[in-house]
Amino acid sequence: MSEPPTVPSPGVERPRRSVLYVPGSNTKALAKARTLPCDAVILDLEDSVAPEAKEPARRAVVEAVAAGGFAPRELLVRVNARGTPWHREDLAALARLPVDGIVLPKVETLEDVREAAGVLGASGATAAPALWLTIETPRGVLAADLLAGAHPSVAGLVAGTSDLTKELRARHVPGREPLLHALSAIVLAARAHSLAALDGVHLALEDEEGFATACRQGRDLGFDGKTLIHPRTIEAANRAFAPDPSEVEAARRLLAAWSAARAEGRGVFVHDGRLVEELHAREADRLVALAGAIASRTAGG
C-alpha cells in the first residue's frame, strides 16, 4: 500500500489582520481597545505621546497591561527608540509584565535589537518577550535581512511608512509607488526569517476607498495585516487580510485532491486545469488554518 497522505503543517497562524496603535497617553482609548474587533493592539509610548507626557503614559500603559482584559487580542507595546531618554526605562517597566511583544521603533543596527533584548533580560524578563522591529528609515530598510536575524526573540517586522516617506523625501501618493521597494524588502526579510510582516498606517482617516485599496495592495505584497490608527478602519482591514470564502473553499478542494493524489503515490497532478505540487498544498493548508483561526477568533469575541 502507498503511504498515508500527508501535508506538512506549517503550524497554526495567528491572525494579524488589524493591528491598532493606541496612544498610551489616552486613557479612553486604552479602555476602548479592550472592546474592539482588532487582532492586535500596540499600546504606544512613542510618536503618539508628547515628550512631556512620556512618563505618565508609561505609568498608564503599565497599569493597563497589569489590569489585563486585552485577550484574545495580541498585546504589543511600542517603546521609545534607542538613544532617547525613555528607551531603557520603557523596556525595564515592561520586562516583567504579560505583554505578547515589544515593538522597537527606528531599528537600524544589530545593537538596537540586542541591547533591547539585554535590557529586558537584565530587568527580570522571565520568558523573553517577542520583539517586533519597526523598519522606517533608509538604513533600516537596507539592513532588514540582518535585523530580522538579529536575535531569536524577533517575531515580526513592522513597516513604518510615515517616517520612511519623510526620510526618503518621497510623497504620499495613492499607489505608494515610492515605497514599493522598501515594502517588498520588509516582506522579503520577514519571510526569509519566518517572521510576521505588518504594513504601515494609512493616514487619511476619511478616505475609505483609498484605505481599502492600500489594504489590498499590502495583502498582495505579502503582508499579514495592517497597522491602524483608528477603530473605524478595523473591519475593512479584517476583511482585506482574511482569505475570502471562495479561496478557502478552493484550498479545501485542492487539499482533498492532493491527499487522493498522494495516496496514489503521485507528487504532482492537475487540478482545475492547473499543475499542483506540494508547495500549493502547503499554501492551501496555511490558508485553511488561517481561516480556522479567524473563525475561532470571531466566535470567541
Chain residues that interact with ligand COA, rule: CB under 6 A: 20-23, 28-29, 32-33, 44, 47-48, 162, 201, 229-231
Nearer to ligand COA, 29 or 64 (CB): 29
Nearer to ligand COA, 29 or 179 (CB): 29
Nearer to ligand COA, 5 or 231 (CB): 231
Nearest-approach distance from CB 207 to ligand COA, in angstroms: 13
Residues 149-178 that bind Mg ion (CB under 5 A): 160, 163
Please choose which of Mg ion, ligand COA, none residue 201 contacts, taking the beta carbon within 5 to 8 angstroms, the exact cut-off set by kind.
ligand COA
130 forms beta bridges with: 101
Nearest-approach distance from CB 31 to ligand COA, in angstroms: 8
Nearest-approach distance from CB 46 to Mg ion, in angstroms: 7
Residue by residue, DSSP assigns the chain as -PPPP------PPPP-SEEEEEETT-HHHHHHGGGS--SEEEEESSTTS-GGGHHHHHHHHHHHHHH---TTSEEEEEPPPTTSTTHHHHHHHHTTS--SEEEESS--SHHHHHHHHHHHHHTT-SSPPEEEEEE-SHHHHHTHHHHHTS-TTEEEEEE-HHHHHHHHT----TT-GGGHHHHHHHHHHHHHTT-EEEE-----TT-HHHHHHHHHHHHHHT-SEEEES-GGGHHHHHHHHSPPHHHHHHHHHHHHHHHHHHHTT-S-EEETTEEE-HHHHHHHHHHHHHHHHHHHHHHH-
Please choose which of Mg ion, ligand COA, none residue 163 contacts, taking the beta carbon within 5 to 8 angstroms, the exact cut-off set by kind.
Mg ion
d(CA 135, CA 112): 12
Nearest-approach distance from CB 163 to ligand COA, in angstroms: 9
d(CA 35, CA 59): 21
Please choose which of ligand COA, Mg ion, none residue 149 contacts, taking the beta carbon within 5 to 8 angstroms, the exact cut-off set by kind.
none
Nearest-approach distance from CB 269 to Mg ion, in angstroms: 48
Residues 86-145 that bind Mg ion (CB under 5 A): 136
Please choose which of Mg ion, ligand COA, none residue 22 contacts, taking the beta carbon within 5 to 8 angstroms, the exact cut-off set by kind.
ligand COA
Nearer to Mg ion, 90 or 136 (CB): 136
Nearer to ligand COA, 101 or 248 (CB): 101
Nearest-approach distance from CB 103 to ligand COA, in angstroms: 10
Nearer to ligand COA, 165 or 217 (CB): 165
Please choose which of ligand COA, Mg ion, none residue 145 contacts, taking the beta carbon within 5 to 8 angstroms, the exact cut-off set by kind.
none
Question: Binding of Mg ion at residue 23 (CB under 5 A)?
Answer: no
Cβ-Cβ contacts under 8 Å for 271 (sequence gap 6 or more): 253, 254, 257, 258
Residue number of the CB atom closest to ligand COA: 21
| Positions that interact with Mg ion (CB under 5 A) | 136, 160, 163
